[in-house]
């Protein structure tokens, strides 16, 4: 009987498929207002991560790193441009004031074991504002984790990393300090 249980557990872990796609597509729901009305700036998103791996899967000594299937910096740029425009900001590429969002860390680290998996998510973004009168920078980060039995469901990992990314973006957007710097 123990042999059948062990054989079925090994079969389940051996059948794990390579990751066909891993998409991080956060959305931001921010109430429309005019708090950035009349503020004009260029917005750039830079991926400063040491590698483009977003899902890292560790299985013993074997480590596989998978990038997102979508263009993560462009996804964040589109989401932030939309959210900031809804606040009255004029976001274009030709403004002398430059707001850069740096992606310092955005990854799901999965440790795969025979009977379980543990995933730790890390997101760190930095707002950097450059203008003639000075500069501003501030980092925003978040961590989360989850675990489950047997094989990792990459859809769950996608969802959990997306939710954490949305929380960090929400904290960034709600912080009045960088907005005050832009307005003054």
pLDDT tens-digit map of 44-55: 999 999 998 999
Mean pLDDT of 104-127: 96
> Is 125:141 a contact under the CB 8 Å cutoff?
yes
- For each of the domains in the chain, give its residue range(s) and CATH number, in order of start: 31-183 (3.40.50.10610)
Choose among 56, 162, 160: nearest CA to 112: 56
Predicted confidence band of residue 93 (pLDDT cuts 50, 70, 90): confident
> Across all residues in the chain, what is the average pLDDT?
88
User: pTM, whole model, 2 decimals?
Assistant: 0.86
The alpha helices in the chain, defined as continuous H runs, are 2-14, 72-85, 154-174, 176-183
> Is 72:47 a contact under the CB 8 Å cutoff?
yes
Predicted confidence band of residue 20 (pLDDT cuts 50, 70, 90): low
Predicted confidence band of residue 29 (pLDDT cuts 50, 70, 90): confident
d(CA 166, CA 160): 10
């Amino acid at each position: 009987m123990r042999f059948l249980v062990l054989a079925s557990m090994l079969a389940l872990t051996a059948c794990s498929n390579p990751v066909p796609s891993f998409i991080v597509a956060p959305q931001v729901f921010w109430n429309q207002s005019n708090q950035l009305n009349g503020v004009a700036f260029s917005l750039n998103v830079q991926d400063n991560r040491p590698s483009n791996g977003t899902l890292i899967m560790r299985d013993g000594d074997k480590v596989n790193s998978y990038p997102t299937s979508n263009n993560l910096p462009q996804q964040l740029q589109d989401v932030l441009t939309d959210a900031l425009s809804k606040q009255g900001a004029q976001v274009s590429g030709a403004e002398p004031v430059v707001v850069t969002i740096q992606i310092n860390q955005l990854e799901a680290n999965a440790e795969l074991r025979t009977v379980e998996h543990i995933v730790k998510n890390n997101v760190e973004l930095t707002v950097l504002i450059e203008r003639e009168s000075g500069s501003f920078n501030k980092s925003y980060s978040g961590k989360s984790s989850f675990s489950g039995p047997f094989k990792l469901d990459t859809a769950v990992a996608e969802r959990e990393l997306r939710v954490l990314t949305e929380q960090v973006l929400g904290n960034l957007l709600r912080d009045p300090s960088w907005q005050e710097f832009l307005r003054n």
